[in-house]
Structure 1
Amino acid sequence: MFHRAILAAVGLLAATAAGAETDMPFALDWKFEGPAAPYFAAIDNGHFADAGLAVEITAGQGSLDAIPKVATGAFPVGFADINSLVKFLDQNPGAPVIAVMMIYDKPPFAVIGRKSLGVETPADLAGKVLGAPPPDGAWAQFPIFAAENGLDMGKITVEPVGFPTREPMLAEGKVASITGFSFSSYLNLVRLGVPEDDISTILMADYGVDLYGNAIIVNTDFAAANPELVKGFLAAVAAGWKDAIADPAAATASLVERNPAADAELEQRRLQLSIDDNVVTDWTKANGFGDVDDARLANSIEQIKLTYEFTNAPDAGLYFTDAYLPEGGFPLE
């Protein structure tokens, strides 16, 4: 029944695409904040239009949110955590969804604490309360982080919290640390008045976690029927990121146009953090933007095995393909 529902939804989407091939709805992982600015820049700077696409961007509710949306064909493309995609495909074998472009070469998964509450290093989490939203992508990787750093989960009190209450609880001292994306939680705390020199950001990638982060995902049935649309979409996304890197203020203006309540200065800082920490890395500078290193992807699957028992034999080819990328990826400068 699940597969019949998928095929019916994809068939409807393909029929719509056949009648109006420019439509390309895009499901984001999160709200319209700084790291989403490049996608709006791609709209405003004409990159999607140049590819013959009319892209409507929809906000999400977490880094897992877009996966079922794309898998069922409700959206042809989305933005989601590839590690969560690996688990989704293990639990839903044959679901028509795959990652096609890596955005966060260095993932923003982090534990954010307050120095005044005694949290500066992984070892400091013992004996303290950690606030974690259950659907949070960073929380999903926390067991790997704990295993790599020898943390005893029995000595950490984990309190499930909602996304809206996560940073306020840390700001009020109700928890000593939280899981989240580094660029989101850090600046949310700043906005709440927490002194920056009191915030500790423990980036999991700096403490043994060799995972990738969020990627562009596609419905494989849609992509097979419309490969040039997918290639054009990815090229436009790369151009939007290139524009944002060259002129973060202009890209932030595109974002604020869609989210007038946003603090432009704060969101530009958030965008810059994502550029510096997650997108422009030594690897992407040397190898191009969008692709992955096969050996690292294989190692990331081994790390997932530390805390997740696969029902089916994992296969990296099910989770990522470079079929829609140019050879050597996209240049960011």
Structure 2
Amino acid sequence: MKLKRFFALALTAMTALPALAATPVKFTLDWKFEGPAAAYLVALEKGYYKDAGLDVTIDSGKGSLDAIPKVASGTYQFGFADINSLIKFKDQNPNSELKGILMVYDKPPFAIIGSKQTGVAKPKDLEGKTLGAPAPDGAYAQWKAFTDVTGINPSEVNIDNVSFAVRESMLVQKRVDAITGYSFSSFLNLRKIGLPAEDINVMLMADYGLKLYGNTILVNPEFAKQNPELVKGFVKATIKGWQYAVAHPEESIQYVIERNKIAKKAVETQRLQMCIDDNVVTDNVKANGFGGVDSARMAEAIDQVGLTYDFKNKPTPEAVFTEEFLPAKSEREL
């Protein structure tokens, strides 16, 4: 009896022990809770991050530049940011060990958007026309490189520094002939204000010679040094989130709608699907797996960034991105 009682007490004590606490980390997006954010919210709500030993808080961002200083300073352990902005940051901060660890947008959404009404359907159509471009716009930042690779004479294009708020409406009103923007955002904004889909001409810059990559997951260097297995877990869970979102886009959008009360399910589902089709599941990703980069292409991309930016401490591909936290290719198929 005493032996039975001993084992009973021992079993009670073991079951009463708390589970190992998950490590709290903060992850900042590049923008609002919209369609492409679904993958990260899936990973959160379905417990993929929790299974990796992480208690993740996801916050919205204020642009692709916003995440870089937040992660570099350690305010956030992870962030989602434009790698071309990271290249410039590394040039300005050559001692920083901040790197991308998971390439999400194999093809960036940087685009020139014209319309049937203004007669802009291909790059050369811009000559003799007016381009509406907000000065801080990520797509407009690539303009000099775009003109270089397409042979556009930039002196023949009038640039109107419009605001983000009126960019699409000015195109509809034909006050400008084309605009710069993110493909999935500007397309849906134009549809929202009444321009038919068949009248919208989206030119992805990557389809016309730009070798640039797009947004990547960043990790704080000190956190990565101290917690390499947790970083691998975060990456693997994020990949699972994207795999689920690609396979189940409509279901995944419910998590966006829960975070963004003014978002429309149909619109955000379409935004996510456009992002998947144009930026995430590319031919390269189908062949080589999601999340990695090609060093030769990255070197070309850095050179193209140099067409729009004067380097003082030009970074190498290895200084900008590392694949050390990626799982095997077989686990990165989309």
TM-score normalised by structure 2 residue count:
0.90
Letter aligned with residue 134 of structure 1: A
Name the CA distance, whole Å, in 1 between partners of 2:95 and 2:303: 21
Q: 2:246 matched to 1:231?
A: no
Aligned to 2:99: 98
**Structure 1 residues 103 and 211, CA gap change in structure 2 (3 angstroms):** same
Q: Where do 5+ consecutive residues of structure 1 fail to align?
A: 1-19
Name the CA distance, whole Å, in 2 between partners of 1:186 and 1:270: 9
**Structure 1 residues 133 and 115, CA gap change in structure 2 (3 angstroms):** same
User: Secondary structure of 2:332's match?
Assistant: coil
How many angstroms does 1:236 deviate by?
1.1
**Structure 1 residues 132 and 330, CA gap change in structure 2 (3 angstroms):** farther
How many angstroms does 1:261 deviate by?
0.8
Aligned to 1:39: 40
How many angstroms does 1:306 deviate by?
2.6
Aligned to 2:50: 49
Contact 2:291 2:332 in 1 (8 A): no
- After the TM superposition, which residues 180-259 of structure 1 pair with which residues of structure 2 at under 5 Å, given as runs? 180-259=181-260
Contact 1:101 1:217 in 2 (8 A): yes
Aligned to 1:4: none
Moved more, 302-311 or 138-147: 302-311
Letter aligned with residue 209 of structure 1: L
Contact 2:119 2:177 in 1 (8 A): yes
Q: Deviations over 1:1-48 (max 9, x none)?
A: xxxxxxxxxxxxxxxxxxx75222111111111111111111111111
Aligned to 1:289: 290
Aligned to 1:266: 267
Moved more, 86-95 or 237-246: 86-95
Aligned to 1:157: 158
Letter aligned with residue 109 of structure 1: F
Q: Deviations over 1:173-214 (max 9, x none)?
A: 332211111111111111111111111001111101111111
Moved more, 60-69 or 248-257: 60-69
Aligned to 1:143: 144
Letter aligned with residue 229 of structure 2: E
Letter aligned with residue 80 of structure 1: A
Name the CA distance, whole Å, in 2 between partners of 1:58 and 1:167: 27
Name the CA distance, whole Å, in 1 between partners of 2:69 and 2:136: 13
User: Secondary structure of 1:211's match?
Assistant: coil
Contact 1:62 1:136 in 2 (8 A): no
How many angstroms does 1:128 deviate by?
2.0
How many angstroms does 1:329 deviate by?
6.8
Q: Which has the larger radius of gyration?
A: 2
Aligned to 1:12: none
How many angstroms does 1:61 deviate by?
2.1
Q: Deviations over 1:306-325 (max 9, x none)?
A: 33221014311110001111
Corresponding pairs, count? 315
Q: Where do 5+ consecutive residues of structure 2 fail to align?
A: 1-20
CA RMSD of aligned residues (A): 1.7
- After the TM superposition, which residues 70-89 of structure 1 pair with which residues of structure 2 at under 5 Å, given as runs? 70-89=71-90
Letter aligned with residue 33 of structure 1: E
Name the CA distance, whole Å, in 2 between partners of 1:229 and 1:170: 46
Contact 1:107 1:214 in 2 (8 A): yes
Contact 1:131 1:158 in 2 (8 A): yes
Which stretches of structure 1, 4 residues or longer, exceed 6 Å deviation after superposition? none
Aligned to 2:309: 308
Contact 1:64 1:135 in 2 (8 A): no
Letter aligned with residue 139 of structure 1: Y
User: Secondary structure of 1:80's match?
Assistant: strand
Name the CA distance, whole Å, in 2 between partners of 1:329 and 1:188: 37
How many angstroms does 1:85 deviate by?
0.6
How many angstroms does 1:285 deviate by?
1.5
Contact 1:148 1:207 in 2 (8 A): yes
Aligned to 2:276: 275
Q: 2:172 matched to 1:171?
A: yes
Contact 1:103 1:289 in 2 (8 A): yes
Letter aligned with residue 179 of structure 1: T
Aligned to 2:332: 331
User: Secondary structure of 1:325's match?
Assistant: coil
How many angstroms does 1:235 deviate by?
0.9
Name the CA distance, whole Å, in 2 between partners of 1:100 and 1:192: 38
Contact 1:48 1:54 in 2 (8 A): yes
